[in-house]
């Protein structure tokens, strides 16, 4: 299979609306439709922002199937199928491939971590089992392990490993990765405060938390860059900086869950060990949202 760009621009790392009874499917459908109407280029379902790690296996599969049916091919869909249990990640990946997802987002293993050799073996095992492209997700602040550029270079040779969601924050490592891998791996920013810098490194866009709240404006930021208006793109990056900071003032997805609830997409409910946003931080978040005319 020839490697092609899965999507260019903004892929929203979508929240999963929850309440004490489980997944709020009415709110889930509503936010999926709104995101597509606002012009996002792809959706990531049941990733880490979607609280995939605390969904039961049945909920995870049901949510993937539900989102696939609601989206109905309108934008590319990426399934969060990563786990620190490789066998489970393989099972979820096979399931998402079977129901029709366009790609998988697979995070590095957390807690049990891995050596670089272990990462190569784990990602290779998942990719070998997949019939759809794999996007590797590097977020060392959350998992305690970093994918090194030399490891990306090895994994880039796999025909089913097509891209990276990079949330290391280390621009020098990203430049090194680009130098080693060239066009063999697309790179998406995993940090909303570094969209323009990673686009400048040849990035394909962002897998975004911010776009849960400001989808149209996040798309505009990427489009300006792609159209050659780098200054305009950077101006939007700066304009949204305070909101981005507020969205990460507590552990993700605590703030974005408060934000999407305020926008009318379900309850402000997260599963333990996450807890609802502290009132003083929520007040700052809502104030930052109002700057953009959001009625919250």
**22 in a domain, yes or no?**
yes
Question: Residues 103-109: what's their mean pLDDT?
Answer: 97
Q: With contact defined as beta carbons under 8 Å apart, do 262 and 289 qualify?
A: yes
Distance CA 59, CA 277 (A): 24
Would you please indicate which residues are annotated as catalytic (active-site) residues?
Answer: 137, 165
pLDDT at 263 over 80: yes
Distance CA 204, CA 201 (A): 9
**250 in a domain, yes or no?**
no
Number of domains in the chain: 1
Which of the four pLDDT bands, split at 50, 70 and 90, describes residue 2?
confident
**257 in a domain, yes or no?**
no
Residue 6: which residues within 8 A CB-CB, separation 6 or more? 42, 76, 78, 102, 103, 133, 135, 162, 163, 186
Which of the four pLDDT bands, split at 50, 70 and 90, describes residue 229?
very high
Distance CA 239, CA 244 (A): 10
pTM of the model: 0.97
Residue 140: which residues within 8 A CB-CB, separation 6 or more? 108, 146, 167, 168
Helices (H) and strands (E) in the chain, counts: 13, 10
Question: Residues 149-162: what's their mean pLDDT?
Answer: 98
Residue 210: which residues within 8 A CB-CB, separation 6 or more? 192, 218, 240, 243, 244, 247
Residue 26: which residues within 8 A CB-CB, separation 6 or more? 266
Domain extent at residue 147 = 9-227
pLDDT, tens digit, 9 for 90 and up, residues 17-43: 999 999 999 999 999 999 999 999 999
Distance CA 111, CA 115 (A): 12
**35 in a domain, yes or no?**
yes
pLDDT (0 to 100) of residue 109 = 95
**274 in a domain, yes or no?**
no
pLDDT at 1 over 90: no
**216 in a domain, yes or no?**
yes
Which of the four pLDDT bands, split at 50, 70 and 90, describes residue 119?
very high
Which residue from 72, 73, 64, 54 is spatially nearest to 14, judged by alpha carbons?
A: 64
Which CATH number do you get for residue 71? 3.20.20.70
**252 in a domain, yes or no?**
no
pLDDT, tens digit, 9 for 90 and up, residues 180-212: 999 999 999 999 999 999 999 999 999 999 999
**251 in a domain, yes or no?**
no
Helix (H, G, I), strand (E, B) or coil at 78: strand
Start-to-end CA distance of the chain, whole Å, equals 46
pLDDT (0 to 100) of residue 60 = 98
């Amino acid at each position: 299979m020839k490697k092609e760009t899965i999507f260019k621009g903004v892929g929203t790392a979508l929240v999963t609306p929850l309440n004490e009874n489980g997944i709020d499917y009415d709110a889930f459908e509503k936010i999926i439709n709104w995101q597509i109407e606002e012009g996002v280029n792809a959706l990531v379902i049941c990733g880490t922002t979607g609280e995939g790690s605390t969904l039961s296996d049945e909920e995870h599969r049901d949510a993937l199937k539900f989102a696939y049916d609601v989206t109905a091919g309108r934008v590319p869909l990426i399934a969060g199928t990563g786990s620190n249990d490789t066998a489970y990640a393989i099972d979820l990946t096979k399931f998402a491939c079977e129901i029709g997802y366009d790609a998988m987002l697979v995070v590095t293993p957390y807690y049990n971590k891995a050596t670089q050799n272990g990462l190569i073996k784990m990602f290779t095992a998942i990719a070998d089992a997949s019939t759809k492209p794999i996007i590797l997700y590097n977020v060392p602040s959350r998992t305690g392990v970093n994918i090194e550029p030399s490891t990306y270079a090895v994994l880039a040779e796999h025909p089913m490993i097509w891209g990276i969601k990079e949330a290391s924050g280390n621009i020098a490592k990203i430049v090194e990765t680009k130098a080693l891998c060239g066009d063999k791996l697309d790179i998406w920013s995993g940090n909303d405060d570094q969209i323009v810098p990673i686009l400048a490194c040849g990035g394909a866009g962002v897998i975004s938390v911010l776009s849960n709240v400001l989808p149209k404006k996040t798309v505009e930021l990427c489009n300006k860059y792609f159209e050659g208006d780098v200054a305009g793109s950077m101006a939007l990056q700066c304009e949204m900086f305070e909101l981005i900071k507020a969205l990460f003032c507590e552990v993700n997805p605590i703030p974005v869950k408060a934000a999407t609830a305020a926008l009318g997409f379900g309850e402000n409910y997260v599963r333990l060990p996450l807890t609802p946003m502290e009132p003083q931080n929520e007040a700052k978040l809502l104030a930052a949202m109002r700057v953009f005319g959001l009625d919250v």
